[in-house]
Amino acid sequence: MSLVSQQLSYGTRLKNVSFTVPEGQLVGIIGANGAGKTTLLHTLTGQLAPSAGSVHFAGVDISQLEPLQRRQLFGFLPQNPSAHAEVSVAHFLQSGLVNLPLKVSASEELARVVKLLQLENYLARPFTQLSGGEQRRVQLARALLGDQPWLVCDEPTASLDLHYQLHVMQLLKSLAAQGKTITVALHDLSLAARFCDQLVLLRHGALLAADQPAAVLTDANLAQAFGIKARWLCTEQGVALLPSLLDDQD
């Protein structure tokens, strides 16, 4: 089930963005602050109505779907969510099952996401008393409930420690390998280069490049989109990026 964005625009914040995400791929949306990553995710998922262009998932026009149908199509992790009520993690996740048709029982589904994010010891604790990174894991678990064909995450690794950054990226990679289409906005270019099958690079709301990481993270693109130059560290585990400012003498 592929995702196709055609000439997608949202006012001046997003301009004619076209790309295709094949089924079962982990795709990273990258770009500097204010480049339009979050706007793109919201427009892709129909939360913002595009001023022009269209989005199709598995051939279905997203804009034609009712809220309930969209709910069954994708799981969404917003950028900076916060909980209001002081409820337990268990109640938080339980409430996240709302409007989801499940193929398995509710308790099995909860156990599945709890295991994926290693939350077994957190269930009785009040959500608001967890640290930022722990809350992030709970929220990602919430977004995974229902096992929809498409997963959309805005900065899934934000405020996570190094261990869980890798854990989450590996989890997303394995979910993609199982056939899920996954779109994530990412700040960390090393994680993006190492784990994503494809990158979509935005600059001032316009598409600069959409291709495999090596083809997107070129010197010219990095200079243009981020104002940096980079050296690459390549090991058996993967690649990492060592950035420096364009005018640095090193």
Residues in contact with another protein by CB under 8 A are 45, 47, 66-68, 70-72, 74, 76, 78-87, 91-92, 95-96, 98-100, 139, 142
CB 67, min distance to another protein, A: 5
Q: How far is CA 23 from CA 99, 179, 182, 231, 238, in A?
A: 24, 6, 9, 32, 23
Q: Return d(Cα 31, Cα 226) in angstroms, integer.
A: 7
The two tokens of residue 201 are: 């690079």
b/e 204-234 (16+ beta carbons within 10 angstroms → b) = ebebbbbeebeebbeeebbeebbebbbeeee
Q: What is the SS3 assignment for 113?
A: helix
Cβ atoms of 186 and 159 within 8 Å: the answer is no
Q: Which is nearer to another protein, 134 or 195 (CB)?
A: 134
Cβ atoms of 183 and 233 within 8 Å: the answer is no
Q: Which is nearer to another protein, 75 or 205 (CB)?
A: 75
CB 54, min distance to another protein, A: 20
Q: Which is nearer to another protein, 74 or 226 (CB)?
A: 74
Q: Which is nearer to another protein, 130 or 230 (CB)?
A: 130
CB 127, min distance to another protein, A: 8
Sequence-ordered list of residues with C-beta below 8 angstroms from that of 174, at least 6 positions apart, any chain: none
Q: Which is nearer to another protein, 128 or 131 (CB)?
A: 128
CB 182, min distance to another protein, A: 15
CB 26, min distance to another protein, A: 20
CB 9, min distance to another protein, A: 21
Q: Which is nearer to another protein, 139 or 198 (CB)?
A: 139
Burial of 121 (0-12, 13-18, 19+ CB in 10 A): exposed
Q: How far is CA 123 from CA 103, 105, 128, 202, 232, in A?
A: 23, 18, 12, 38, 41
